[in-house]
């Protein structure tokens, strides 16, 4: 059985000093878990300093983005090669990158390949907008984003991938996806990966849910068949709520939840 994966995406919050203090607070609240991997995704500015502070038996680090070239004249970018040894994971194709910074499936594909090439674990984000959902295009959008993001990978390389379903219409809007919505999307994702890489390879991929996750709905999402964890945004900046969600994941996996 795969370990549950809980990722806290801090987005563009917390400076170097604040991030250090927050990590210390989390380390007091969240013990190393036997059945749950806890990953923190701070800003690029704070990654290196936190990598020196973090207990990697307790937490892993993720970059929120990377550039697909390993080196060169790309002012302002940070490559996957430069993140090697600092971060363990890298979030790729987050909806804010796709819709605010206009990243395409081609960009996403190149970044996934760069992460794999540099021994980082990509977290590929996929999800539809409210308009696409209203037009019954959810399955088509997920198909296109998965096919575009995972192209040119082998079945063996797929084992390094995590897919996060984050419906754009549910992120920070208060219009939460229902467990039924999530179950449908996750089934589409798993079916598409099986078609691309075979059922055995697809079965080994962790699929997360992300989109207005909070302490009240986290357990319901974790109980959805096929969901292996959560990608958490705003609530990951509340230490007690984040720790409580990690605890819920541990309890469910440990068979002690009601």
Q: Sign (positive/negative) of CA torsion 117, 161, 232, 68?
A: positive
Q: Spot the catalytic one: 96, 166, 219, 240.
A: 166
Q: Which residue has the tokens 């990608």?
A: 231
Q: Which residue has the tokens 């996060």?
A: 164
Token pair in block for residue 26? 């989390």
Residue 18 catalytic?
no
Residue 94 catalytic?
yes
Taken as a whole, the chain contains a residue count of 258
What b/e string do you get for 173-189 counting C-beta neighbours within 10 Å, with b at 16 or more? eeebbebebbbbbbebb
DSSP 58: T
Name 99's Cβ contacts closer than 8 Å, sequence gap at least 6: 129, 168
Q: Spot the catalytic one: 18, 94, 103, 219.
A: 94
- Which of 17, 19, 4 minimizes the C-alpha distance to 236? 19
Active site residues: 94, 166
């Amino acid at each position: 059985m795969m370990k549950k994966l809980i990722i806290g995406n801090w987005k563009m919050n917390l400076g170097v000093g604040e991030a250090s203090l927050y990590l210390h607070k989390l380390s007091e609240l969240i013990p190393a878990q036997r059945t749950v991997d806890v990953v923190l995704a701070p800003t690029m500015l704070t990654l290196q300093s936190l990598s020196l502070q973090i207990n990697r038996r307790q937490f892993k680090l993720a970059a929120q983005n990377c550039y697909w070239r390993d080196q060169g004249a790309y002012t302002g970018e940070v490559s996957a090669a430069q993140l090697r040894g600092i971060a363990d994971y890298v979030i790729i194709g987050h909806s804010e990158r796709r819709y605010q910074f206009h990243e395409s499936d081609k960009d996403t594909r190149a970044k996934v390949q760069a992460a794999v090439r540099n021994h980082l674990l990509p977290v590929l984000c996929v999800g539809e907008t409210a308009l696409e959902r209203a037009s019954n295009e959810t399955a088509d959008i997920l198909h296109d984003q998965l096919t575009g993001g995972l192209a040119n990978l082998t079945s063996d390389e797929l084992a390094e991938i995590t897919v996060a379903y984050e419906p754009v219409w549910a992120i920070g809007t208060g219009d939460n996806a229902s467990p039924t919505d999530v179950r449908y999307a996750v089934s589409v994702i798993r079916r598409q990966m099986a078609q691309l890489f075979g059922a055995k390879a697809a079965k080994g991929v962790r699929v997360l849910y992300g989109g207005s996750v909070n302490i009240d709905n986290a357990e319901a999402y974790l109980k959805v068949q096929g969901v292996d964890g959560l990608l958490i945004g705003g609530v990951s900046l509340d230490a007690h709520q984040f720790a409580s969600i990690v605890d819920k994941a541990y309890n469910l996996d440990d068979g002690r939840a009601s």
